Structure 1
């Protein structure tokens, strides 16, 4: 994969994170990327994600916390914009 595509995608992820949460730093971008990919995988390959959740219950709890954080930050960002 070439660097130009990586840079352009990073710009897309940065903007998505800003629009979703109201701010974007490297930590938030990584959380949003994990949240988006996990959400997509849980819908497109539910048995795989269920197996992973069963295999790594601590990671499942971590993902639940991450999903909750993203949801709360998004809700707060939407309130702040009104």
Structure 2
């Protein structure tokens, strides 16, 4: 793959992590990748997501934990932004 593209796409992921969670750590960027890919699969191929969930209970629990963490961080970030605007 083109190195320039890879760097530009990684920058997109970092910005996405920042906008959604306020955290740009490599660990959070990796969680955002998982969150985004699983979210896309769940919406566009629900039968595949359901099958995977049924056969990978530990993986399903980890995805759920990541989704809840991203959600909680996003809500906290929005609350902080609302407080700062007032």
TM-score bin, normalised by smaller chain: over 0.9
Could you say which residue in structure 2 is the equivalent of 1:27?
A: 27
TM-score between both structures, scaled by the size of structure 2: 0.92
Gaps of 5+ in 1: none
Could you say which residue in structure 2 is the equivalent of 1:3?
A: 3
In our comparison, the structure showing a higher alpha carbon Rg is 2
Whole-angstrom CA distance in 2 between matches of 1:59 and 1:15: 26
Match runs of 1:1-80 below 5 Å: 1-80=1-80
Whole-angstrom CA distance in 1 between matches of 2:53 and 2:22: 30
Whole-angstrom CA distance in 2 between matches of 1:58 and 1:14: 27
Superposed CA RMSD in Å reads 0.7
- Aligned to 2:8, the other structure's residue is in SS state helix
Q: Work out the number of aligned pairs and report it.
A: 82
- Aligned to 2:67, the other structure's residue is in SS state helix
Whole-angstrom CA distance in 2 between matches of 1:66 and 1:16: 15
